[in-house]
């Protein structure tokens, strides 16, 4: 199916949908100038770090406990790569649709905070957000726009213990409360499920798509590349999210008028 035709077809289905799940990965932020990567450390994907360990080990919970300076070194580099990035048209398209349809939910793997910056409210940040920091000992927390000027590794001003970002590092469990929220939303059901800019390698990303397909619910992938779910979704849009998603939302708005 030609791109224009699939965009119109998806827009028509979206116009009729009340509850919609958007699952987003790094690809949705690509047009904001951020690299597409696997996991929180993928800007180093396949490249050894200067500290002689792979990036997954450097950015692990175990390394943070043993050698926090190493973990924070690379967290700082990742934050610097994200610094100054602004939401793009795809982020804003979801926020606009959310205002029109209260049943819209976004599940993101991203830690860049761009969905929130675009105004998305109904959001599950399954890997957390780099901007939010918390003490590892006491209840002190803060949200920062940038790590610029922050001593790394940072220490808590209240108790002098190590501070960490509220993100899921390698080897750590996903937040139980966020998983429970996702499963509760799935129990309520959805009319459409979108996978946008994610390689779909993780079970909690693939499972909602498989569940929707098994229930006869419309599934959509927006990704210029081929992924694990490309051959099973009902609609495949091979285009950048910042181009495809606003066009789909515009098509849906035209149908709703």
- Name the domain boundary from 167, 189, 217: 167
Q: Is there a single domain that holds both residue 92 and residue 70?
A: no
Total domain count, the chain:
2
Active-site annotation holds for 127: yes
pLDDT score for 199: 83
User: Which helix (DSSP H) or strand (DSSP E) does residue 115 occupy?
Assistant: helix 114-118
Q: Is there a single domain that holds both residue 79 and residue 181?
A: no
- Indicate the average pLDDT of the chain: 91
pLDDT score for 37: 54
Q: Is the pLDDT of residue 229 over 60?
A: yes
Query: What residues contact 44, with CB distance under 8 A and at least 6 apart?
Result: 55, 74
- Out of 5, 67, 115, 127, which one is annotated catalytic? 127
- Name the domain boundary from 167, 190, 215: 167
Nearest-5° angle of CA 71, CA 181, CA 101? 110
Q: Is there a single domain that holds both residue 205 and residue 79?
A: no
In tens, the pLDDT along 26-61 reads 999 999 988 765 434 345 555 667 888 888 899 999
Q: Is there a single domain that holds both residue 140 and residue 75?
A: yes
Q: Is there a single domain that holds both residue 117 and residue 149?
A: no
How many other CB atoms are there within 10 angstroms of residue 43's CB atom?
18
Q: Domain holding 156: CATH number? A: 3.30.1600.10
Q: Domain holding 102: CATH number? A: 3.40.50.1220
Q: Label each residue of 204-227 as H, E or C.
A: HHHHHHHHHHHCCCEEEEECCCCC
pLDDT score for 73: 95
Q: Is there a single domain that holds both residue 149 and residue 236?
A: no
- Name the domain boundary from 167, 183, 218: 167
Quick one: average pLDDT of 121-136?
96
Q: Is there a single domain that holds both residue 121 and residue 242?
A: yes
Q: Is there a single domain that holds both residue 143 and residue 218?
A: no
CA 63 vs. chain centroid, Å, equals: 24
Instruction: Compute the chain's Rg from CA coordinates.
Output: 19
In tens, the pLDDT along 166-201 reads 999 999 999 999 999 999 999 999 999 999 999 877
Q: Label the pairing between strands 192-196 and 218-222.
A: parallel
Percent of the chain at pLDDT above 90?
79
Q: Is there a single domain that holds both residue 189 and residue 249?
A: yes
Q: Is there a single domain that holds both residue 100 and residue 225?
A: yes
Q: Is there a single domain that holds both residue 244 and residue 186?
A: yes
Q: Is there a single domain that holds both residue 16 and residue 115?
A: yes
In tens, the pLDDT along 64-107 reads 999 999 999 999 988 998 888 999 999 999 999 999 999 999 99
Contact indicator for 141, 132 with CB cutoff of 8 Å: yes
Structural domain including 154 reads 35-84+135-167
């Amino acid at each position: 199916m030609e791109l224009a035709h699939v965009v119109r077809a998806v827009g028509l289905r979206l116009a009729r949908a009340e509850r919609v799940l958007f699952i987003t990965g790094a690809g949705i932020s690509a047009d904001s100038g951020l690299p597409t990567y696997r996991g929180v450390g993928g800007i180093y994907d396949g490249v050894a770090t200067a500290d002689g360990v792979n990036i997954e080990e450097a950015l692990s919970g175990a390394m943070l406990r043993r050698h926090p300076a190493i973990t924070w070194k690379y967290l700082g580099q990742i934050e610097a790569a994200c610094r100054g990035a602004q939401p793009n048209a795809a982020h804003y398209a979801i926020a606009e649709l959310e205002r029109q349809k209260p049943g819209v939910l976004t599940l993101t793997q991203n830690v860049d905070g761009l969905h929130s910056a675009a105004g998305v409210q109904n959001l599950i940040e399954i890997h957390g957000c780099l901007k939010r920091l918390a003490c590892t000992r006491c209840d002190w927390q803060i949200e920062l726009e940038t790590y610029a000027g922050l001593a790394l590794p940072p220490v808590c001003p209240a108790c002098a213990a190590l501070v960490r970002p509220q993100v899921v590092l390698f080897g750590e469990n996903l937040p139980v409360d966020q998983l429970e929220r996702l499963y509760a939303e799935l129990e309520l059901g959805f009319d459409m499920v979108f996978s946008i800019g994610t390689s779909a390698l993780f079970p909690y990303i693939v499972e909602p798509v498989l569940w929707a397909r098994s229930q006869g619910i419309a599934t959509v992938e927006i990704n210029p590349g081929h992924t694990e779910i490309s051959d099973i979704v009902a609609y495949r849009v091979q285009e950048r999210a910042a181009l495809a998603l606003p066009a789909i939302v515009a098509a849906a708005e035209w149908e709703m008028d």
